[in-house]
Amino acid sequence: MNVDISSWRGDWALVTGASCGIGLAFCRALAAEGMNLVLVARRADVLNELAVSLARDAGVKCLVLAHDLSEPDAPTELLRRVGEEGIRIRLLVNNAGAGHWGRFAGASADVHRQLMTLNAVAPVVLCRLFADDLASFKGAAVINLSSPAVYQPVPYMAAYAASKSAVHSFSLALSEEWRSLGVVVQTLVPGPTATEFDARAGAYGSALGEARASVESVVAASLGGLKRGDVLVTTAKGVFGQRIFGGLFPPAFVVRKVAAMFRPPAEH
């Protein structure tokens, strides 16, 4: 099924991680097409300012729901508040995410629990909670943010790569289950993108290098993919080679090579 967002003017999208980065770019692009927005992230002040600017510049309605999605009850609370406002979600963008670079045991169990809940559990739960809303439309969509980290395990980002692998697998499987409902489920794999993500994740110099795509180019690729009904969209370079490397070479060899790319500088 092909999705043309421009025909969804006046319908509602829910975007997690709306306060900056790729999520913010989604909000701007969707508002420019006339979609109303439920804005979700932790920073209420940033979301409130965004709501004012989107209403002024694009004339759309916004509902700000400041929640921490690493809290297990947050998705249910979002459903409750959206229902209270009489809003039905036609597009769900599961974008909020966080990373953690460095030795696994260098971060506490709580840090890893929060990361897994935010990156892997919340998207699955939100898809389930908003399933009835999505299926009630003639045509709806979900965009789940994956990562090139899913194509092989990543030592020194072990939990992050695992969390994204969970979403990636879930999202592709769901795309087939929901095809007959007219709900396009897109798995979006951005390559390295210019956002606050790396700084927040404690990133250091690595084989990823410095080149970063713009958030606008990632969102344009995603919305272009929806128009074609693509279930997997990537802006990452070298994914084909990565899949062969990660899928066919011996696992011990693969993880040793990847470890050499992501080992903290102090340990080289």
Ligand X SMILES: NC(=O)c1ccc[n+]([C@@H]2O[C@H](COP(=O)([O-])OP(=O)(O)OC[C@H]3O[C@@H](n4cnc5c(N)ncnc54)[C@H](OP(=O)(O)O)[C@@H]3O)[C@@H](O)[C@H]2O)c1
Q: Does 69 bind ligand X (CB under 6 A)?
A: yes
Output the smallest distance, CB 120 to ligand X, in A. Answer: 10
Residue 148 three-state SS: helix
Q: Are 173 and 232 in contact (CB under 8 A)?
A: no
Q: Are 146 and 164 in contact (CB under 8 A)?
A: yes
Among 125, 143, 145, 157, binds ligand X (CB under 6 A): 145
- Name the amino acid, one letter, at 71: E
Q: Does 64 bind ligand X (CB under 6 A)?
A: no
Q: Which of residues 207-266 bind ligand X (CB under 6 A)?
A: none
Among 38, 41, 79, 93, binds ligand X (CB under 6 A): 41
Q: Which of residues 80-109 bind ligand X (CB under 6 A)?
A: 95-98
Among 197, 221, 222, 258, binds ligand X (CB under 6 A): 197
- The H-assigned helical ranges of 59-157 are 74-84, 109-116, 122-129, 131-135
Q: Does 187 bind ligand X (CB under 6 A)?
A: no
Q: Does 9 bind ligand X (CB under 6 A)?
A: no
- Measured in residues, the chain has a length of 268
Nearer to ligand X, 66 or 255 (CB): 66
Q: Are 92 and 37 in contact (CB under 8 A)?
A: no
Q: Does 193 bind ligand X (CB under 6 A)?
A: yes
Output the smallest distance, CB 230 to ligand X, in A. Answer: 17
Active site residues: 160, 164
Q: Does 75 bind ligand X (CB under 6 A)?
A: no
Q: Does 45 bind ligand X (CB under 6 A)?
A: no
Nearer to ligand X, 3 or 74 (CB): 74
Nearer to ligand X, 19 or 171 (CB): 19
Q: Are 38 and 89 in contact (CB under 8 A)?
A: yes
**Residue 226 burial by Cβ neighbours in a 10 Å radius (0-12, 13-18, 19+):** buried
| Separation between Cα atoms, residue 147 and residue 188, nearest integer Å | 8
Question: Which helix H or strand E contains 38, and what residues bound it?
Answer: strand 36-41
Q: Are 168 and 97 in contact (CB under 8 A)?
A: no
List of residues contacting ligand X (CB under 6 A): 17-23, 41-43, 46, 68-70, 95-98, 118, 145, 147, 190, 192-193, 195-197, 200
